[in-house]
Structure 1
Amino acid sequence: MEVAEEIEYEGLDPNAGLAAGITEHAVMFPVDSIKTRMQVFATSPSAVYTGIGNAFTRISSTEGMRALWRGVSSVIMGAGPAHAAMKELGGGNVAGNRNQWIATSLAGASATIASDALMNPFDVIKQRMQVHESQFRSALTCARTVYAREGLSAFYVSYPTTLTMTVPFTAVQFTAYEQLKALLNPSGTYSPISHIISGGLAGGVAGAVTTPLDVAKTLLQTRGQSTDPEIRGARGMMDAFRIILARDGWRGFGRGLAPRVLTFMPSNALCWLSYEFFKAAIRED
């Protein structure tokens, strides 16, 4: 789950939210794998893909369908700790907590920083396992190897970039959702179809707008498996931007745009639908 950029499922309903988040990311994981491969600056022609269909066909025919799911265990392992931490931080584990609105506000405000700090290493492991010809088949083996070769910093070199993505993603997503919802559902009543469409489109737009930052994040998170000295030496977001611009021009910042948008549309549609459902249910109580 590139998780920090999304509205937290956990903030909607603790247990159902965790299950929904894991399920959605597991289902969409092959698309996320394709996105990662399209964003990596590959030196081998066999690792260059022209689109989602081309990538899916070539990966499944040469490496098998299982290759598209490589790294999914890291997402599942990381979701539990991040969810539990947010719940505890928000006071969700305190029996008889009468100030649930305070807990919800606190959890929402701190979710980005805290969940990213917890999830960033798992995201690094996930992407290291997703790249073309990755030698890793186990998340634990990947974590041990990366730590031994590159140290703890390898798991957090992309953390500032990940946090930077959250601001424009959240702003664009909320603005787009409210505008689309007002257009499709002027009455403001609970309307699942309009919430799904508005949420999906808002997530797609936000995902598209923040793709350049995601390309930089991928470069930083997979730098240790590159044979290019310049990429391996990238120290942060500005280095990543410079390399992307020099290697691929401005179009390089759009790498993986289609699969990224496709990944965010269902996740945000589900999230907004869940949010509107619980909001309507509370009003009826």
Structure 2
Amino acid sequence: MEDIDYESLPTNAGLAVNMLAGALAGISEHAVMFPVDSIKTRMQVFATSPVAIYSGVGNAFSRISSTEGMRALWRGVSSVILGAGPAHAVHFGTLEAVKELAGGNEAGNQWLATSLAGASATIASDAFMNPFDVIKQRMQVHQSQFRSVWTCAASVYRTEGLAAFYVSYPTTLAISIPFNAIQFTVYEHIKKFANPRNEYSPQTHIAAGGIAGAVAAAVTTPLDVAKTILQTRGASTEADIRNVGGMMDAFKVIWTRDGIKGFARGLTPRVLTIMPSSALCWLSYEFFKAAIRSD
């Protein structure tokens, strides 16, 4: 059997192919890197207990695993698995559709088209994923009482109402739109630069995806800190955090408590999470798209 020439496939491979490839890539991406994401969440939460204050990724990993067990690093992964597949299916389906409509598949550097596609894709997918992300982070925090997605969802809804699942949505969009625009644009242009002949090159997908993810993650970390505060506010016992009502309130808390350095909380694990997961996501996406198309 001849090898699949991934890059020779039609650019517009069909909505169903793109959505299924995106779903499989999304689940792969989030599941593999989940423990590092848990550490990122812990580092971004303003904790008062000395046990829950971490000085770095290694310190957090050691303390969590030794005091709570390794399973604590995987708490909440079921929420990601439930939401990531459909959310990524919507994301990649929209991504390819908008890219095609905006002319991003035509010859030349289509910066505007690729940026528009990356930004548009996230609006619909984040609307679906946001509640799952809230549940995930409530389960990730130190001394979380939740061990089940459904128990957590029911408790948040009962005590805080439906709004709790979407209080961070504007902030999520404020992160995701530039994140995906940056990531998709950097990915496309590195891929074209590194592989101008459009030959089968999985190493190009890995490198381009990793670099694109790292750049986008670093740029949007301050917004991610604010989002974590919003999504975990109900788990806090401190009045200023529990009363945070939006992104600007979260920024005020960060500035008051930690100054400028507070906006970089969790930067290292965020980049460590997103860089390989982005590489895996794009590699998986290109692979599944080609494999499904070849059937």
Fold match by TM threshold 0.5: yes
Per-residue deviation, 1:116? 1.3
Q: Determine the C-alpha separation between the residues in 2 that align with 1:102 and 1:196.
A: 23
* Residues 230-268 of structure 1: CA deviation (Å, up to 9, x unaligned): 110000000001110111011101111111111111222
Q: Determine the C-alpha separation between the residues in 2 that align with 1:81 and 1:183.
A: 31
Give structure 1 regions of 4+ aligned residues with deviation exceeding 6 angstroms. 106-109, 278-282
Question: RCO higher in 1 or 2 (8 Å CA, sep ≥ 6)?
Answer: 2
Distance 1:101 1:57, change over 3 A: closer
Q: For 2:280, give the aligned amino acid.
A: L
Q: Determine the C-alpha separation between the residues in 2 that align with 1:64 and 1:281.
A: 39
Match of 1:66 among 71, 79, 93: 71
Per-residue deviation, 1:109? 7.1
Report matched runs for 1:31-110 at 5 Å.
Answer: 31-82=36-87, 86=90
- Return 5+ residue gaps in structure 2 as ranges: 1-14, 103-116
* Residues 20-49 of structure 1: CA deviation (Å, up to 9, x unaligned): 321221111101100000000001111011
Contact 1:11/1:108, CA 8 A, preserved across alignment: no
For residue 6 of structure 1, what is the aligned residue in structure 2?
none
Q: Determine the C-alpha separation between the residues in 1 that align with 2:88 and 2:215.
A: 26
Distance 1:173 1:79, change over 3 A: closer
Per-residue deviation, 1:190? 3.6
Do structure 1's residue 154 and structure 2's residue 164 form an aligned pair? yes
Per-residue deviation, 1:168? 1.9
Q: For 2:266, give the aligned amino acid.
A: G
Q: For 1:244, give the aligned amino acid.
A: I
For residue 94 of structure 1, what is the aligned residue in structure 2?
none
RMSD, aligned α-carbons? 3.1
Report matched runs for 1:139-150 at 5 Å.
Answer: 139-150=149-160
Report matched runs for 1:125-144 at 5 Å.
Answer: 125-144=135-154
Distance 1:102 1:111, change over 3 A: closer
Q: Determine the C-alpha separation between the residues in 2 that align with 1:116 and 1:154.
A: 15
Q: Determine the C-alpha separation between the residues in 2 that align with 1:51 and 1:238.
A: 26
TM-score by length of 2: 0.79
- Return 5+ residue gaps in structure 1 as ranges: 1-9, 91-99
Q: For 1:20, give the aligned amino acid.
A: A
For residue 21 of structure 1, what is the aligned residue in structure 2?
26
Per-residue deviation, 1:17? 3.3
Q: For 2:55, give the aligned amino acid.
A: T
Distance 1:31 1:193, change over 3 A: same
Do structure 1's residue 124 and structure 2's residue 138 form an aligned pair? no
Q: Determine the C-alpha separation between the residues in 1 that align with 2:281 and 2:80.
A: 18
TM-score by length of 1: 0.81
Q: For 1:68, give the aligned amino acid.
A: L
**Aligned length, in residue pairs:** 264
Percent pairwise identity: 71
Contact 1:12/1:275, CA 8 A, preserved across alignment: no
72-81 or 186-195: bigger deviation = 186-195
SS at match of 1:210: helix
Q: For 2:212, give the aligned amino acid.
A: A
